[in-house]
Amino acid sequence: MNRRVYMDHTATTPLDPRVLEAMQPYFSEKFGNASSVHQYGQEAKAALELSRDRIAAFIHAKPAEIFFTTGGTESDNFAIKGAALAARAKGRKHIITNRSEHHAVLETCEYLEEIGYAVSYLPVDEYGMVDPDAVRRAVTPGTCLVSIMHANNEVGTINPIEEIAGIAHEHGILFHTDTVQTVGKIPVDVGAMGIDLLGISGHKIYGPKGIGAIYIKKGVEIEKFMHGGGQERGRRAGTENVPLAVGLGKTIELREMEMAEESIRLQTLKERLRRGIEERLEGHIFNGHLTHSLSHILNVSFNRSKIDIDGDVLLLSMDLNGVAVTSGSACTSGSMDPSHVLLAMGRDERTAKATLRFSMGKMNTEEDVEYVLDVLEDVVTKIGKPTSRNHNS
């Protein structure tokens, strides 16, 4: 193996050296507890609040609406459980989401079902997109929350969340969106988009693992997530992780400077990869919307009606040739089950398992794309077997 190419940036990204540099003092000499009133504590507090200010400005929110968490999963749990529990007193115990959400949302909703809530899991179309009219039809007098992801983490499709949020607000319902794959990659404006609750994760955008944030619009009723001290204005107890919060703030600062240019470059690489697959391989199916999609994700399956490929062998063969990709969400990449997102889009199980998600980042180059195409062509040629129907046609 002469080369290694990382194309799994949707799972995680390398830490930007500039972010590491910004964090380092807060692991050592600037070690104060941000809740302490002395100089050490106030130095930490100032750094924490600067990061909060940067995050708020980036999504057009107020600093007091940003709360630090450990990442996207906690933020989703906080938003959904918190909003649902706060609505109990009003007798509203119904939630609307969709079948292609991240497991952080789906399993949170399943938990709420176990304790007496009702959840409507909407279908998606063949591109993985939610129909706003389906949201409208699912609304009941007891609906307390609509949770629809901004963009899908496996296929990249961007949902029409402004329209969906508008429908929710027409009925006095809160709107939550998982923006883990979009904040720092495409513009997000919580006011213009009608967002009441959203989650952010640092390690998806060249920041540190273990840090994220939740936006809670002023006036939104939500139960606290952690009980204990009065940190994060009483909504999330526990000593703030100042070094990681500083890292997230620096990450956001860099994303603001570099996001637009990088998005254009990644779109070019994505189109080159797509064209190469079309020119070199048969029996493939691209998953996700062609235009309403994130610039860094390209998801491709191999159609079982045309070519028979063992998905596990496909993934392992790519890795053995130095190409790091995945078949779906990083949270389930070790599972033998096919992607729930692709099944929701109408793919059969065998086709869904024979899938690769390429997600590119700022380290990737045109040379990387050409190498990946060479490897993919070689692997598919070796392990792919034409189906009998295709072979006899």
Could you read off the pLDDT tens digit of each residue along the chain, which spans 393 residues? 579 999 999 999 999 999 999 999 999 999 998 888 899 999 999 999 999 999 999 999 999 999 999 999 999 999 999 999 999 989 999 999 999 999 999 999 999 999 999 999 999 999 999 999 999 999 999 999 999 999 999 999 999 999 999 999 999 999 999 999 999 999 999 999 999 999 999 999 999 999 999 999 999 999 998 899 889 888 898 989 999 999 999 999 999 999 999 999 999 999 999 999 999 999 999 999 999 999 999 999 999 889 999 999 999 999 999 999 998 654 544 556 889 999 999 999 999 999 999 999 999 999 999 999 999 999 999 999 887 655 443
Catalytic-labelled residue, pool 331, 343, 377, 387? 331
List 69's β-bridge partners, or say none.
Answer: 212
Residues ≥6 apart with Cβ < 8 Å to 28: none
The tokens describing 93, both together, are 């115990």
**Nearest partner of 258 among 205, 301, 308, judged by Cα:** 205
What size, in residues, is the chain? 393
The tokens describing 3, both together, are 């080369």
The tokens describing 370, both together, are 């050409």
**Amino acid sitting at position 274:** R
Whether 331 is catalytic: yes
* DSSP tally for the chain: helices H, then strands E: 13, 14
